[in-house]
Structure 1
């Protein structure tokens, strides 16, 4: 019997599987908890300002999201990620993502989530969804603490494709038989590598590209959000990635 029928289902996390951006929400959680080192925390408002003025790229923000953890103990980051997920992310998982993940799991496929967001928060999403693997952007750990050194590749654009392809190769999974669900034009290199591309919640320019390429388009907007309590992610918006 061929494991997983050599088929993977790859899910982007931000603004598709989740209504929101996991890295943004986790960074602002650390900011609001005053868990960051003071020198890094003082830079966050300026970084957001520079990004809003298009002086920083999406990849810059992916890297910032991981480097802001510098100096924090890995065990503390895991605990913060768990608390952040339970408080802010669990309710943001879209119903469309849940349906498709369950369908692929019941079909015996290898289910993988991948995001440029920090590995700690991506792990929490993956654990909750019981997927087979979760890929995020990682930093080196020295003496139990996070450094500002990102473990290559940065999980964005070609780096994301490389990270996903490494997992597929490890499990002998066939990209031509596999599925990708993502909202991001930055994932075009990965869309081009799989046999079953599905574009989720695309903005207008990417929707037009998807339609020209003949890629399926779906809308995953619905999510369960109990109560009316304020959410830091609604206050601060999204960095992308």
Structure 2
């Protein structure tokens, strides 16, 4: 039987000896979904965000968590989210968001875990469905040098959606494999921490899967596979 260990238990700071460790962001290194935090912040400053929130909740968030999101659906959301902003305008918005709200939701335990891996010389990689601008803000704060994320599509200096492949589901596996190949490595050289059932393809690919703050579906999968399971939410 696999239990979810809380911070303070021995497993909570167990470090695995692999050259590369991948980390999900949403509900893993941070205690909320970054898109949800963004929407709440935006609504506080601009009422237009109600449209964005309605679209996200109605057609995107549930599908994302269940592993059913499509590129078209996610690109449509980003067109609503940015409303034709230039990349520089969006970066400025994200900087404000991160300073006022986003940085407040980083798990304290994440800093300790990442420090321990850096000390042993592990390459840390954030691999997330957040866009590259949001991911960069969190990776800089967390001291993670390598980032794999969804990439904003820009045409004539305006954001028009997302590039392919998506960093999601099987797309995450392909992008992680590409990163490892560039390092002369394979999935046998990697571990992965995540909270989401939609990340099962990558969990099943790496040598050391670690389930972190799992939803109920992923907790059940961890039980079935005998994967280590950590839960920082009750610490």
TM-score, normalised relative to structure 2:
0.80
Distance (Å, rounded) in 2 between the aligned partners of 1:193 and 1:118: 23
Check 1:105–1:14 CA distance in 2 against 1; reply closer, same or farther (3 A cut): same
CA RMSD of aligned residues (A): 2.5
Of the candidates 57, 68, 84, which is equivalent to residue 63 of structure 2? 57
Counterpart secondary structure, 1:111: strand
In 2: Cα distance, 1:49 partner to 1:184 partner: 17
Give me the TM-score of the superposition, normalised by structure 1: 0.78
CA distances 1:156-175 after superposition (whole Å, capped 9, x unpaired):
11111212222122222332
Measured in 1, the distance between the counterparts of 2:172 and 2:23 equals: 12
Q: Could you tell me which residue of structure 2 aligns to residue 143 of structure 1?
A: 156
CA contact (8 A) 2:55 2:77 kept: no
8 Å Cα contact 2:52-2:77 kept in structure 1: no
- Structure 2 unaligned regions, length at least 5: 1-16
CA distance in structure 2 between the aligned counterparts of 1:143 and 1:95, rounded to whole angstroms: 40
Determine whether 1:214 maps to 2:230: no
8 Å contact from structure 2 (residues 125, 145) kept in 1: yes
Per the alignment, residue 8 of structure 2 pairs with none
Q: For residues 121-166 of structure 1, give each alpha carbon's deviation from its aligned partner in whole angstroms, at most 9, with x where no partner exists.
A: 1110001112121122112212322113x21111111111212222
The aligned counterpart of 1:87 is 100
Kindly indicate whether the alpha-carbon contact (under 8 Å) linking 1:140 and 1:146 is maintained by their aligned counterparts in 2: yes
Give the corresponding residue for 1:164.
176
Task: Judge conservation of contact 1:23–1:117 (CA < 8 Å) in 2.
Answer: yes
The alignment covers a number of residue pairs equal to 212
